[in-house]
Structure 1
Amino acid sequence: MSESSNRPPISLSPGQWSFTRWNTIGQLEALEVHHPLFQATIFLQGAHLAHFAPQDQMEWLWLSDTARFEPGRPIRGGVPICWPWFGDPARNPPEVRKRIHSDAAHGFARSVLWKLEDVRESAHEVEISLSLDANEDFADVWTGHALALLTFSFSVRGCQLALTTTNLDSNPMAFSQALHTYFSTADISRTRVLGLGTSNYIDALNDWEYCTQDGPVYFEGETDRIYESGEPLTIVTPAGSRKLTAVGSDSTVVWNPGPDKAARLSDFPDTAWKTMLCVETANAAGDYRVLNEGQSHTLGVFIGRT
């Protein structure tokens, strides 16, 4: 799915990095990329992409003005990693739910430290890989043993995330997940998502009733839907548009909290719902995945110019 140059980036050790630097933001360690063609910021906690912008362009992602960068606290905005379950545990399929020993939504990957595996740089691209070994250390919240490897690829054309899960357990592993991407918009009422017309979806605000989309997705208040589609999408905002191309996904989550829920959310200004939306590349609801011992699955998205 790569949209990058044919020339592979060169793997380098920290002393040799040309564009990538360590920084401490709040109480968290982060990798900041300052490339002549683009900029990006990744936190080790949650393998969380918080910032991406090509040269001379405005920020592509939305990050809350009140986000707090503290150990164990998920970051509001950017691209949180929901893994190894998505959403409310009780709303997951039985095969996924039986592994979960927590009431917390969206799994534990977004609030724990990941390990830096590699930084690869070239004149056109930077790739950064981080891993999470979900072993017996997480037995109090989840049953299983799996390796999550997340690779970010940045170029002037856009950014790509590829999350590969490998089952290291002897038993089959069922899981759900999402790349919970927050996008900026100047006005949610003049924003729409193209590519989901005629798709079936679950309306989480209407007792999980099945509905069918008719044309573009518009936002008229709180929106929380799981679409049965992994087709390419276009997000149109007053400032322009972005194209999303997914792999390993047959479900897409579209979310905006609206005014009432925004007032209840942590680290979320009351009026911020007017300037953001989430379009999430997912394996959610009936699109959950099962891996036998040693098997892997990659969920990915390329966010690019249209």
Structure 2
Amino acid sequence: MPESSHTPPASVTPGQWSFTRWKTIGQLEALEVHHPVFSATVFLQGAHLTHFALNDDTNWLWLSDTARFEPGRAIRGGIPVCWPWFGDPARNPPEIRKRVHTPSAHGFARTALWRLEDVRESAHEVEISLSLNANEDFEGQWDGHALALITFSFSVRGCQIALTTTNLSKDPLALSQALHTYLPTSDISRTRLLGLGHSQYMDTLKDWDYFEQEGPVYFDGETDRIYESAEPLTLVTPAGKRKLTSVGSDSTVVWNPGPEKALRLSDFPGTGWQKMVCVETANAATDYRVLNEGQSHTLGVVIGRG
């Protein structure tokens, strides 16, 4: 993965940064944070967080060994931003579906180039903010005008991500979205997710029918479910626990491709499904949101030690 130094845009003042530096990784620009307590990597393409770790720990996020860092190509792993629609457009409510002009899943934000708005640093925390103005530049894919602002906050407590959407058009705007968080495990068969017991979920692998979760979620093959829940979650792996607390969300997507689908995925090792699980903070299915002119909505997640 070649790296080189990069001259930042004139609009930012990196001389004031103590811990944050520009890096070119593959063919993409990124901000790397090297704090005495933690480290992080955020790409401008997709506003994509691929790495966060306390300095005595490994990456809290799963990143594919075969991920490619190329313009217009979604990075496999980390936390892709699915926006302004989630999943297959045809499976979205009519208010969202009528705005989408492409069959591509998960929206355009994850491959769009975001603008750096701010880097704030203190002895205890680093905060990075990026924005995407979804205007007429995207009219071939989507009908709407909105501003997305994402802020990453890193500290010894973990990482916090807040994605705020503001409707800049005069018409009501319906959207679905997700912070598509990939989390690592050493063994998916010895991994379980706590906090979804007694929740209703839609199983996309079983004709999108509804079921009720009994006890922890275990993984024994392909899993693709949308849970109607906003409860704090704890992922338990052989290496320890990770807690996820959401805001602005009443739905959680739980996904693992299993052995057969893993072979069909791009930039995904054939055995990678054994080492990861996605627990996604979402506004999906019936939890989609509608914003009137000038209204905003924030979707967020805090990832911390369990």
TM (norm. structure 2) is 0.96
**Deviation per residue, 1:18-68 (Å, 9 max, x gap):** 000000000000000000010000000000000000121111100000000
Deviation of 1:253 after TM superposition, in Å, equals: 0.1
Q: Counterpart amino acid of 1:136?
A: E
Structure 2 unaligned regions, length at least 5: 1-11
Aligned equivalents of 2:290 and 2:54: distance in 1? 36
Counterpart residue number, 2:9: none
Counterpart residue number, 2:57: 57
Q: Is the 8 A contact 1:126 1:155 kept in 2?
A: yes
Counterpart residue number, 1:70: 70
Counterpart residue number, 1:282: 282
> Which region of structure 1 is more displaced relative to structure 2, 13-22 or 191-200?
13-22
Aligned equivalents of 1:265 and 1:298: distance in 2? 30
**Deviation per residue, 1:188-212 (Å, 9 max, x gap):** 0000000000000000001101010
Deviation of 1:275 after TM superposition, in Å, equals: 0.3
Aligned equivalents of 1:14 and 1:59: distance in 2? 25
Aligned equivalents of 2:190 and 2:204: distance in 1? 23
Counterpart residue number, 1:29: 29
Aligned equivalents of 2:158 and 2:205: distance in 1? 33
Aligned equivalents of 1:300 and 1:167: distance in 2? 18
Counterpart residue number, 2:91: 91
Aligned equivalents of 1:144 and 1:264: distance in 2? 33
Q: Counterpart amino acid of 1:63?
A: L
Counterpart residue number, 1:243: 243
Say yes or no: does 1:108 pair with 2:112: no
Aligned equivalents of 2:259 and 2:237: distance in 1? 19
Say yes or no: does 1:273 pair with 2:273: yes
Deviation of 1:157 after TM superposition, in Å, equals: 1.0
Q: Counterpart amino acid of 2:270?
A: D
Q: Counterpart amino acid of 2:294?
A: G
Counterpart residue number, 1:155: 155
Q: Counterpart amino acid of 1:270?
A: G
Aligned equivalents of 2:14 and 2:213: distance in 1? 48
Counterpart residue number, 1:206: 206
Counterpart residue number, 2:292: 292
Q: Is the 8 A contact 1:55 1:156 kept in 2?
A: no
Counterpart residue number, 1:45: 45
Counterpart residue number, 1:223: 223
Aligned equivalents of 1:252 and 1:97: distance in 2? 21
Q: Is the 8 A contact 1:13 1:119 kept in 2?
A: no
Aligned equivalents of 1:113 and 1:86: distance in 2? 19
Q: Counterpart amino acid of 1:299?
A: L
Give the root-mean-square deviation of aligned CA atoms. 0.6
Q: Secondary structure at the match of 1:51?
A: strand
Aligned equivalents of 1:204 and 1:237: distance in 2? 25
Q: Is the 8 A contact 1:202 1:210 kept in 2?
A: yes
Question: Hey, which bits of structure 1, 4+ residues long, moved more than 3 A?
Answer: none
Deviation of 1:103 after TM superposition, in Å, equals: 0.3
Q: Secondary structure at the match of 1:109?
A: coil
Q: Counterpart amino acid of 1:87?
A: G
Q: Is the 8 A contact 1:38 1:54 kept in 2?
A: yes
Structure 1 unaligned regions, length at least 5: 1-11
Q: Counterpart amino acid of 1:76?
A: R
**Deviation per residue, 1:201-254 (Å, 9 max, x gap):** 000001101010000000010000000001100000000001101000000000
Counterpart residue number, 2:172: 172
Aligned equivalents of 1:299 and 1:179: distance in 2? 8
Aligned equivalents of 2:101 and 2:13: distance in 1? 39
Aligned equivalents of 1:197 and 1:247: distance in 2? 19
**Deviation per residue, 1:154-202 (Å, 9 max, x gap):** 0011000000000000000000000000000000000000000000000
Q: Is the 8 A contact 1:78 1:181 kept in 2?
A: yes
Deviation of 1:126 after TM superposition, in Å, equals: 0.2
Q: Counterpart amino acid of 1:275?
A: K
Q: Counterpart amino acid of 1:303?
A: I
Deviation of 1:16 after TM superposition, in Å, equals: 1.2
Deviation of 1:13 after TM superposition, in Å, equals: 2.5
Deviation of 1:259 after TM superposition, in Å, equals: 0.2
